[in-house]
Structure 1
Amino acid sequence: MIPMSLAEIATAAEGRLSETADPEAVVTGGIEHDSRKVGPGGLFLALPGEKVDGHDFAPKAEAQGAVATIATRPIDSPAVYVDEGLRALAGIARETARRSEATVVGVTGSNGKTSTKDLIGHLCASLGPTVATEGNFNNELGHPYTVCRLAPDTRYLVLELAARGIGHITELCEIAPPHIGAVLNVGISHLDGFGSIETTAEAKSELPRFLAPEGTAVLNADDPRVAAMAERTRAQVLTFGVQNPADIAAADVEAGDGRHRFTLRTPDGDAPVRLRLWGGHHVHNALAAAAVAWRLGASPDHIAEQLSEAGRKSERRMDVFTLPDGTTVIDDSYNANPASMGAAIRALGQLPTAGRRIAVLGLMADLEELSDECHRRAGEQAAEAGVDELIAIGDGTEPIVEGAAGNDHEHSIDGANGVVATHVPDQTAAIELLRTRLRSGDSVLVKGSRHRTWDVADHLRAKEDNDQ
């Protein structure tokens, strides 16, 4: 954290110090909302929870070296009293960003935010000290928490910007104004919050619209809704793409074993890239990251070398591993929407396998009236990709079976497309079915929204032999 006195912290948080808090005491160790992570010189953010109240752990935080606790009710430890904890955290983060000289990179999109953020973070770290969002900690808590991790020598701050409605991205941008903003795509996701894909596009456009004239908007030339944002930003525009002309492009794309190869083309020359990440969707993610790095002054050779070295950092995202019997598992179970589901299914289809390809698919949440259509399309994509067997888990996934089998039956079908498609009520039933179906040499994809397929993935991971 950039050092600040408690008096300065109180001003930034719009709070007041308790009588036992020393205004001149300096906070150097960062802000934590988990008392177990608080260290000497840090701050503890006491948040009320459903089961426990953070205020009860203030004495523990003080014993571990916390300078003070940010609190909303009286406690027996040095405190900064505020009206609302998250608003106070945002204020401290805003002041931290104001004092920092780091270049701020913001990333948003309907799909691929976390993977692309990880790639950008990897590239930036090769250029200088970097702070990046951990996992997908991208909300009203995770975003300011990440900003507060800035140190005096940090050169790059890479932030994943998520939204479930209009105005959310703007609010995050106001905490740490981005110098570079990358928009990856606009797709069907979180329709319970956005209502339509047009509203989704409007929300994502808040990032390029926020940028200053001296900033850079990194836009996907292959997504018409993203490309159109060039007309709505004051910033310089840098495009990336595969199908359409772009400033940063991929040529000669080859699928290989599912880890794609391509020639990176930039205004400064070309360089070969061989990704370690699984799935064709990572080509666009890599290009977005390359565009950011090129804007920061990296050479094509350096960018290509770093992209070729980058591995998976976040859990349950295209994590490919092998079981002792030779079965290959693709754990992409963190979350799912129509675009990411299609990308994962295509990756399963491209994966070399000695046995069968099996897809275990859970519900894609928040699709509202488009749910049946999108799930049916996922089943069709499984058939098109050459999937041999499909297991759909839980209520709402029956259309996956219908789409895979090419007819309107709902339960167990040996379809005309050659897909054995089965609907099961829950993950326990899916695990039992896999026990009888999986054979040595098979490849299995596990994909669904949030927790809906995690038990299946964890069951398979328990058998894991080695990561690829």
Structure 2
Amino acid sequence: ADVGIITNISDDHLFIDGIKSLEEMAFVKSLVVEAVKDKGYAVLNADDPMTPIISERVKCGIIYFSQNKDNIILKKHLKEGNIGVFLNNNVICIGRGEEITPVSNIVDIPSTIEGKISYNIENSLAATAGAFGLNIPPEAISKGLETFYLNEIQNPGRFNIYNVGNFRVLVDYGHNEAGYRGVLEAAKKLGAMRLVGVIGVPGDRSDENAIRLGKIAGEEFDYIYIKEDRDLRGRNPGEIARLMEFGAISAGRSRDSIEIILSETEALKAAMDNSKPGDLIIIFYEKLEGVLDVVKKYASVKVKNKKEIVRKSKVKGA
């Protein structure tokens, strides 16, 4: 490869295939950058504590990226005349030694929703670093960042927001702690009256992982629908759901604000049927196609009903 990118190391797949620690996960993921040509670049996250482990295995050039321009690893790297990508007053910049080239203000990057989505700021930094490592000029990188949208055409199933009558549905593939926290951090900035969660976790994750995600949901959502994947990955039906319920209750969420509906689409339908004006329903999905079918059918009914109400009011007033 000419460029290899590792955005971060998380505990998402711990205890799967014999991986028991973040250090072991870093070792496995380092294969991405070990496959890069000698004259290529490994793009690494200077903000991730596992990055030093990975950097030791890199044989090509390195481009570090960071949301903090004062990151120690980044500053040392730039001082040595190397390439780094970082934020400076909300502007993504490419640095090489003391030379700095501005690329884009994060407010102008649609995928960050005016800088509200921290993890997409991180992804934009990584994308900038990777593109620059491929000799793509900053002007072209800027255009790419500023014309990439969170919709089902360009980025299906990743923070896609649908307006459905008087509430909204946010569709995302969050399935680990980082995903949950990242989406919720951004969602809280969107001005919803209530946050309603339709949540689940793959069955091959540990009990502790399922409980922890349930706890996060219990802390952040006003109402929770717990569903399960169709592929239970060795679990019994309802097993993962009960673990997540336990986590939510341990976070202080009352039982009367939690429902277990194992079918993903039925859980989403229930959330939409019971919605209140101003709600933001967040579904962490398994199967995108089925979820979008439900959302779009519901939205079309809402639009049809609204048009019928308008038509009848005009007839009544005639």
Q: Into which bin does the TM-score normalised by the smaller protein fall? A: 0.7 to 0.9
Counting only pairs closer than 5 Å after superposition, residues 108-147 of structure 1 correspond to structure 2 as none
Does the CA-based 8 Å contact 1:210-1:233 persist in structure 2? Answer: no
Tell me which residue corresponds to 2:146.
308
- Of stretches 201-210 and 296-305 in structure 1, the one that deviates more from structure 2 is 296-305
Q: Does 1:180 align with 2:3?
A: yes
Partner secondary structure for residue 198 of structure 2:
strand
Give 1 or 2: higher helix fraction: 2
Residue 306 (structure 1) shift: 2.6
User: Equivalent of 1:413, from 255, 262, 266?
Assistant: 255
Select the structure of larger CA radius of gyration: 1
Could you tell me which residue of structure 1 aligns to residue 19 of structure 2? 195
SS in 2 for 1:430: helix
Question: What is the distance in 1 between the residues matched to 2:284 and 2:140?
Answer: 34
In the TM superposition, what whole-angstrom CA distance separates every residue of 1:73-94 from its partner, at most 9, and x where no partner exists?
A: xxxxxxxxxxxxxxxxxxxxxx
Matched, 1:402 2:246: yes
Residues 350 and 365 (structure 1), Cα distance of their counterparts in 2 relative to 1, 3 Å cut? farther
Deviation at 1:344, TM superposition (A): 2.2
CA 1:332–1:431 in structure 2 vs 1: closer, same or farther (change >3 Å)? closer
**1:318 maps to amino acid:** F
What do residues 33-64 of structure 1 show as CA deviations (whole Å, max 9, x unaligned)? xxxxxxxxxxxxxxxxxxxxxxxxxxxxxxxx
Q: 1:439 to 1:407 in 2, by over 3 A?
A: closer
In the alignment, structure 1 segments of 5+ residues that lack a partner are 1-177, 253-261, 415-419
Once superposed, what is the RMSD of the aligned Cα atoms? 2.8
- TM-aligned CA distance change 1:331 to 1:248, over 3 Å: same
Aligned to 1:426: 263
Structure 2 distance, partners of 1:347, 1:381, is 14
Q: Distance in 1 between matches of 2:157 and 2:172?
A: 5
Equivalent in the alignment of 2:308? none
1:319 matched to 2:160? The reply is: yes
The aligned residue for residue 204 of structure 1 is 29
Change (3 A) 1:275 1:375: farther
The higher relative CO (CA closer than 8 Å, separation ≥ 6) is in 2
AA aligned opposite 1:311: Y
Post-superposition CA distance 1:244-265 (Å, at most 9, x none): 343211244xxxxxxxxx3112
CA distance in 2, matches of 1:212, 1:428: 45
Does structure 2 conserve the Cα–Cα contact (< 8 Å) formed by 1:222 and 1:241?
yes
The 2-side partners of 1:264 and 1:431 are apart by 37
CA contact (8 A) 2:265 2:294 kept: no
Aligned length: 264
Offset at 1:360? 0.5
How far apart, CA to CA, are the structure 2 residues paired with 1:249 and 1:185? Answer: 16
Per-residue deviation, 1:287: 0.5
Distance 1:326 1:436, change over 3 A: closer
Contact in 2 for aligned 1:179/1:212 (Cα 8 Å): yes
Match of 1:463, SS? helix
Aligned partner of 1:350: which letter? K
Q: In the superposition, relative to structure 1, how do residues 407 and 187 fare at CA in structure 2: closer, same or farther (>3 Å)?
A: closer
Inter-partner Cα distance in structure 2 for 1:318 and 1:292: 22
- Asked if 1:332 is matched to 2:169, the reply is no
